Structure 1
Amino acid sequence: MSKTETMKENAIAFYKMAYQGNPREAVSLYVGDEYIQHNPDVENGTEGFISYFERMKTEYPEKSINFVRAIAEGDLVSLHTHQIWPDDDQYITMDFFRFDTNGKIVEHWDAIQQIPKTSANLNTMY
């Protein structure tokens, strides 16, 4: 398997594990010596990441995530996801992960958009 494919698989495994309620193990397996966070709702560093996802698991245990696509270039992986939250509240996210030379995640950016109830076209956002 190529380095690029391994990074994509690791980014998906990391995010899925954290999202499903085990962020501490996700950090242990997939994060490097530092973790730079760019999401303004999550504290910088691994403990901020763990705290955020532990809280989400407690507050929203029924949420789900589908990985629509993964794209990798150089040391970056981008994940396009479709998330479904309670009361059919749906979101599309774009997450970007930077990997270090050891193949570990060290930086994260994201953008999130709620899927509107109506659309000017019949195309999905995923």
Structure 2
Amino acid sequence: MTKETERNRTIVLTAFQEFARGNLEHLRDVLAPDFVEHSPGNPSGRDAFVDFLRTAPVAGAALDLRRVVADGAYVVLHYRMTTPDEPRGTAVVDIWRLADGLIAEHWDVVQPVPEEASTPHGMF
């Protein structure tokens, strides 16, 4: 693993862990001021994105990280997000691009976890 890949993996993983603990303010330290969000309906810009997350469903959810894939500027997280109202949860893949030690861009893929019988090999 290159030093860049290792550094970026650590930045994203630490941000994920802090976010999962409820420390949204940590994101202001790791997101670029001109952060670009590619998910429909979510705002771009560091401060607008952090403020948006305060009321987003993910903010109050339990996050069970299953995979981290890192390659250079990109870090991918695969996790299960659950809430008391949605115990089966949601499968999430976040893709983060870093530049100069800050998270510069984000994409995600979100899918409800179906009944176990419909996914014989599991989602995770």
Question: Is the pair's TM-score, using the shorter chain for normalization, greater than 0.5?
Answer: yes
Smaller-chain TM-score bracket:
0.7 to 0.9
Q: Distance in 1 between matches of 2:65 and 2:110?
A: 14
Task: Give the CA RMSD over aligned residues.
Answer: 2.2
Percent identity between the aligned chains?
A: 22
Q: Deviation above 4 Å: which 4+ runs of structure 1?
A: none
**Structure 2: gaps (5+ residues):** none
- How much has 1:76 moved relative to structure 2? 0.8
Return the letter of the residue paired with 1:77.
Answer: V
TM-score by length of 1: 0.82
Structure 1 distance, partners of 2:67, 2:122, is 14
Note if 1:119 corresponds to 2:117: yes
Unaligned segments of structure 1, at least 5 residues: none
**Partner deviation per Cα, 1:44-98 (whole Å, 9 max, x = no partner):** 11122212221137x963x210111111122111111111112314011111111
CA distance in 2 between counterparts of 1:73 and 1:108 reads 15
Aligned-partner SS, 1:55: coil
How many residue pairs align between the two structures?
Answer: 122
Residue identity in the other structure for 1:52: F
Shift of 1:103: 1.6
Give the drift of 1:3.
2.4
Q: Does 1:47 align with 2:47?
A: yes
Give, in whole Å, the separation in 1 of the partners of 2:59 and 2:72.
Answer: 34
Q: Summarize deviations over 1:99-120 as a string: whole Å, max 9, x none.
A: 10x2210100001000012433
Aligned pairs (5 A) from 1:23-62 = 23-28=24-29, 30-56=30-56, 61=60
CA contact (8 A) 1:82 1:90 kept: yes
Q: Is contact 1:21–1:53 with CA below 8 Å preserved after alignment?
A: no
The correspondence of residues 29-108 of structure 1 with structure 2, limited to 5 A, is 30-56=30-56, 61=60, 63-87=61-85, 88-100=87-99, 102-108=100-106
d(CA) in 2 for partners of 1:13, 1:111: 21
TM-score (norm 2): 0.83
